[in-house]
Structure 1
Amino acid sequence: MLQTWNSERRLTAIGRAALSVPARQALADRQLIPERTILDYGCGRGDDVRALERLDCRITGWDPYYRSETKLEQADVVLLTYVLNVIENPAERRHTLMQAWQLANTVLIVSARLTWEKSKVRGQEFGDGLITSRQTFQHLFGASELRDYVEEVTGTRCVSVSPGVVYAFKDDSARLSYLAQRIVPDAEWLASEDTTSAIAAVIDYVERRGRQPRVEEMPHPVAELLAHMKPNELRRLVRDSADPEKISEGAKRTTLNTLVFLVVELFQGRGPFSSLPFSVQLDVRSFFSSYKEACQRSDRLLFKLRDDTYIRGAMNASAVGKLTPTALYVHRRAVDHMPTVLRLYEHCASIAAGRPQEWTIVKLKHQGRATSWLDYPDFDRDPHPRILSSYHVDLQTLATSHTSYANSMNRPLLHRKHEFLAQDDPDVPRYRRLTESELRAGLYEHPHLIGTENGWEAELIRCGRELRGHRLVRRAAG
């Protein structure tokens, strides 16, 4: 039986100088937009409320201590930000989540502190958490535990969008639209001020997507400027002006994106054709003989994902990434250039446990199924960037782990930066020149020594060299 105790929950409401991580994520995912009403349920001191108001969001905040006078009303989006983990009574915790779910018309955004933060939370065990020295309570969730808990209470399939952040959609079509947006992102339309620029915007869309857009897919200004044109006339103009090679590449890219989306959808339970987002329905009609054929091809792709030999072959054939005896490492700028089955590999991991907001390189193991997102915040500035953190998910068990190197005195670092990128990346020539000069200087003669800061510095001294930006120079005497 749980001991009764009234924790000082108000003390967990910290002041923030910037948006919270979950609010930033939701903003980036276009869940917080001016057209939607937003409720911050358990808003604490209201810093997110004020920040989102400055971004023209229609938001209200309610908190039992700081804003109890706010009238609770339903909203399109409800934010439940770091609330569940401070409630010591499991029954009340569940009730709070259900109340937030009932207040949401479109999506409930739930966030909580995770188990990897345990070193930052000191206290005595109490119930299913800890009492801190400030007499506050913390229940730390596992990344998959949070999603499972929200799914169980709300009775709906949820999406882990990043570690510790879960979206629960009221309507399944909204969930699928979000997934489609992550996998088949809608590129920005070109600005249109007259008929000529509106036609140019449509041509650009056709070259990127590989098919003509429907009027319903066009931004309102574009549709308005082209309303006087007959559909056949617009199609003829596009056909005569668009680059056929770009259209072909766009069609190939959209076909592969659609297959990845259908596999990810199956990962969460595939619905009928009518449940697909409108643009994806049009992609299926344009690039497949039928929805059945598209599903069959996506099922074969999923089967390939389970085949170690096929995955290793795809990694060997990949035009991007650094292949080691255990894994393929790819920079985030090159991820879309990976073979389709490897893109699917990364997407499935992100749907299962959430992709962190800050990451630089993804690591895909070729035996078993495990993905890590590695953060090298100074990748572009530092010739040998140091790792800051790693987030790992095992796709077979869905177990997650997080490692921080922030306080490490001898961090791992990277070499041969050009190998992580696509060959047409503008930084590749500069990075390759540095690698070649380091090879000539003999810095890679002892590869087992250079993987950490201390070992690398020792080799630089041995070889009489030092770095100035991305240039290797002789070390000054003395």
Structure 2
Amino acid sequence: MDREAYLHLVSEIRYSKRLPDAKYLHKESLRSQSPALFGFLAIVAQAIKVSDDDWNIAKLHARDFKVSYLSYPAFYSESYPSLEQSIAVDLGLLTTKVTSYSDSKNPPILHRKELFIEPTNDCYDEFCSITREGEAAGLYETPFKIGFKDSWERLIKQKGYSLVNGRLVQVDVASDELSEDKIDRHLTAITRYELSSPFKCLAKHGYLNGNHSVFDYGCGKGDDLRELEAHGLNVGGWDPNFRPDTEQLESDIVNLGFVINVIENIDERIEAIQRAFALSKRLLVISAMIAGEATISKFAPYKDGILTSRNTFQRYYSQSELQDFIERTLEDDAIAVAPGIFYVFKDKLQEQEFLSNRHKRRQLWKQLTGDSDRKNVSAEMLFVTHKSLLDKFWMKCLELGRLPANDEFVCSSELREALGSHQKAFRILGQCVDTSDFARAQQMRKEDLLVYFALALFGKRKTYSDMPEAMKRDIRVFFDKYKSVIDEAKKLLFSLGDVSLINGLCNKAHEELPASHLNPGHSLIVHEKFVGLLPSALRIYVGCAAQLFGDLEDIDLVKIHITSGKVSFMNYEGFDSSPLPLLKERIKVKLRQQDVDFFEYTGCFTSPSLYWKSIYIDPSFPDYKKQVSFDHKLTAFSFVDSDREYGPHREELDRLLASEGKIIKGYRFYTA
């Protein structure tokens, strides 16, 4: 069965629980209403080794070639059964994602069971009666609060009811039992003098260019809004403490910035995420505080977070924990763009464009240069006459690594009117100028595509069938078929487990890069600027690690561990301005465990200095010559082994230099 036949059969399903993008129904109802669709799902289930007992509810996607097999073992025996397991299947790619809730203390639960079966079912009237009870008790007034077991049971209690044998019974509840400890949430809002980090990420990725409406859900005192409004952007914001009366507007981009981490009630966190997602047309940005045990241990524990001295609540997350929470709440992919910052795309075409551009290298190509041996006078005349137009066309060819389609070149109509076609324009260029850069552009684009698809496979992300047209053209030109690029990407991805290959590639990269530091058999350290110059397999190695914590923005050095399957990302204070920058943050990503460790060098943790910075940079960096001179003079003191990655802390170095009658000022040594 192909995609079109599947979607047609789904559209004909009459009795089901309907959402905008999916239909849910019991498999008995599915068998009755659509034997062909039920038979197809049974075949798929057999192929992926899902037994008949592993599911009883089907989630049929109404727009994509996907299905989920859901297991609610107590569907008939409990009024509000819990989800035990979800198996999501992409029928186009035949990939699966299994999510188990068997050990969860707060699993998703099912309501309105009558919608999942046909009216002829013996239990239909009973299920309708259960739903009417809930409606009369006011349990369905706020849909965002009823999706998980804990919040559902708490809501029942707050409404003055309890569950007895699955039915609602009214009870007397003392008012103090319903009250929560008063937390001063409004004190968590801070005054900002520059854009917050989530908005900086949006700006970096081109989403604050004026083409998108923006809504800040939980905007605090509105400092981000004022800055964005000053730049003429279409923005709005709401906050329960500072802007409670403003309208919550549906917008292209919705920012939920550092909101969920200050909410002590987990149900309200879930509600905040779901409400913000409902408001977003294209993209939801979610951010929360990331911290390790060293930070958390300084505060008094409270619920699942900590209580500060100002009587405010903070829920610190790990990177993977935050991602899992978002994905479970929204049942959608969350893409890490920075520590504690995730993107969730509603527009899946835009998601693919974002992921593709994320690993696409930028090259400053040389302008067209003349060829002294011009043999075609006619072509030469056309080249001279239309040089400005051909220059623009040439740069677009280099950008794409192929000839652009008509809708990809803004001057296409003008070019075709003057020269006939894009193909003829390219032939004229080949006859008149040096076009050797084009082969390099082709190779770069092909490598970028392989990196993109390999990283998509690593992240188990859906490669959507409706991919951007430009990417479909890339696949046709560079790989002929979609299967070919996937096969090559898989081969590259699986090669990362070969330690000898990684070791050889690190040695090769060390020889070819403008600057790097190689610890033979152990690690390769490169500046973030040079990551795009690494061999494709190493770009994927680093990209897989970055995918777990975010972009390399604010990262200075990247350390590829050759044997342990780890990648470390280091951020230094004063990397571009100091001869001995101080390590501010180190992020170690363990690829085999898919886990992230954050190390912040603040407070009682002394920041190590980076020695021999000149081995990591080249003449394109500011103060390169000064750094080379500084490092050369430092070797004369023999305080630091030039073959070692680390040396004494800065205070210790200053003390040692003082014993020699020297002090450091800027990049120079002076007599004390």
Deviation at 1:121, TM superposition (A): 8.8
2:573 aligns to what SS in structure 1? coil
Q: Is the 8 A contact 2:456 2:463 kept in 1?
A: no
Distance 1:469 1:135 in 2: 44
Q: Which of the numbers 449, 460, 472 marks the counterpart of 1:281?
A: 472
Relative distance call for 1:157 and 1:125 in structure 2 (3 A) is same
Q: Is the 8 A contact 2:548 2:596 kept in 1?
A: no
Q: Is the 8 A contact 1:36 1:77 kept in 2?
A: yes
Q: Which of the numbers 33, 38, 54 marks the counterpart of 2:209?
A: 33
2:292 aligns to what SS in structure 1? helix
Q: Is the 8 A contact 1:331 1:421 kept in 2?
A: yes
Relative distance call for 1:363 and 1:446 in structure 2 (3 A) is closer
2:598 aligns to what SS in structure 1? strand
The answer to which of 152-161 and 265-274 deviates more is: 265-274
2:566 corresponds to 1:335: no
2:543 aligns to what SS in structure 1? helix
Q: Which of the numbers 502, 511, 518 marks the counterpart of 1:323?
A: 518
Q: Which of the numbers 632, 646, 650 marks the counterpart of 1:453?
A: 650
The residue type paired with residue 47 of structure 1 is D
Q: Is the 8 A contact 1:80 1:100 kept in 2?
A: yes
Q: Which of the numbers 541, 546, 564 marks the counterpart of 1:350?
A: 546
The residue type paired with residue 450 of structure 1 is G
Q: Is the 8 A contact 1:163 1:356 kept in 2?
A: no
Deviation at 1:408, TM superposition (A): 6.3
Q: What aligned pairs does 1:96-135 form with structure 2 within 5 A after superposition?
A: 96-116=272-292, 119=295, 123-135=299-311
2:283 aligns to what SS in structure 1? strand
Q: What aligned pairs does 1:429-440 form with structure 2 within 5 A after superposition?
A: 431-432=627-628, 434-439=630-635
Distance 1:87 1:423 in 2: 49
Relative distance call for 1:14 and 1:199 in structure 2 (3 A) is same
Q: Is the 8 A contact 1:372 1:392 kept in 2?
A: yes
Q: Provide the alpha-carbon RMSD of the alignment.
A: 3.2
Deviation at 1:228, TM superposition (A): 3.2
Distance 1:169 1:189 in 2: 33
The answer to which of 180-189 and 199-208 deviates more is: 180-189
Relative distance call for 1:101 and 1:188 in structure 2 (3 A) is farther
The residue type paired with residue 391 of structure 1 is I
Q: Is the 8 A contact 1:443 1:459 kept in 2?
A: yes
Larger RCO: 1 or 2 (CA < 8 Å, sep 6+) = 1
The residue type paired with residue 181 of structure 2 is W
2:64 corresponds to 1:64: no
Distance 2:181 2:365 in 1: 56
1:32-90, CA deviations, whole angstroms, 9 ceiling, x for partnerless residues?
33111111111111111111112222110011221122222311111001111111111
Indicate the structure (1 or 2) with the bigger Cα radius of gyration: 2
Distance 2:312 2:665 in 1: 49
Distance 1:356 1:12 in 2: 28
Q: Which of the numbers 546, 558, 562 marks the counterpart of 1:362?
A: 558
Distance 2:185 2:286 in 1: 18
Q: Is the 8 A contact 2:581 2:609 kept in 1?
A: yes
Q: Which of the numbers 355, 361, 383 marks the counterpart of 2:579?
A: 383
User: 2:591 aligns to what?
Assistant: 395
2:598 corresponds to 1:372: no
The answer to which of 296-305 and 242-251 deviates more is: 242-251
2:441 corresponds to 1:250: yes
Q: How many residues align?
A: 471
1:258-312, CA deviations, whole angstroms, 9 ceiling, x for partnerless residues?
1100101112336568543333333222222322222111111101112222111
1:316-368, CA deviations, whole angstroms, 9 ceiling, x for partnerless residues?
11123211253211111211111211111111111122236311111111122
The residue type paired with residue 309 of structure 1 is S
Deviation at 1:149, TM superposition (A): 1.0
Q: What are the ranges of 5 or more consecutive residues in structure 1 without an aligned counterpart? A: none
2:180 aligns to what SS in structure 1? coil
1:447-472, CA deviations, whole angstroms, 9 ceiling, x for partnerless residues?
6783432454455457776656545x
1:367 aligns to what SS in structure 2? coil
TM-score, with length taken from structure 2? 0.64
2:390 corresponds to 1:228: no
Q: What aligned pairs does 1:11-22 form with structure 2 within 5 A after superposition?
A: 11-22=187-198
Relative distance call for 1:338 and 1:428 in structure 2 (3 A) is farther
Relative distance call for 1:40 and 1:315 in structure 2 (3 A) is same
The answer to which of 106-115 and 264-273 deviates more is: 264-273
The answer to which of 65-74 and 240-249 deviates more is: 240-249
1:205-230, CA deviations, whole angstroms, 9 ceiling, x for partnerless residues?
32354322223333x4x446546343
User: 1:263 aligns to what?
Assistant: 454
1:147-203, CA deviations, whole angstroms, 9 ceiling, x for partnerless residues?
111111111111011000010011322211111110115679999xx9643431221
The residue type paired with residue 383 of structure 1 is P
Distance 2:578 2:263 in 1: 43
2:306 aligns to what SS in structure 1? strand
Distance 1:51 1:300 in 2: 47
2:316 aligns to what SS in structure 1? coil
Q: What are the ranges of 5 or more consecutive residues in structure 2 without an aligned counterpart? A: 1-149, 155-178, 368-384
Distance 2:424 2:272 in 1: 57
Relative distance call for 1:423 and 1:365 in structure 2 (3 A) is farther
The residue type paired with residue 616 of structure 2 is F
1:5 aligns to what SS in structure 2? coil
2:323 corresponds to 1:147: yes
1:335 aligns to what SS in structure 2? helix
Distance 1:447 1:368 in 2: 22
Q: Is the 8 A contact 2:612 2:642 kept in 1?
A: no
1:135 aligns to what SS in structure 2? coil
Q: Which of the numbers 334, 337, 340 marks the counterpart of 1:158?
A: 334
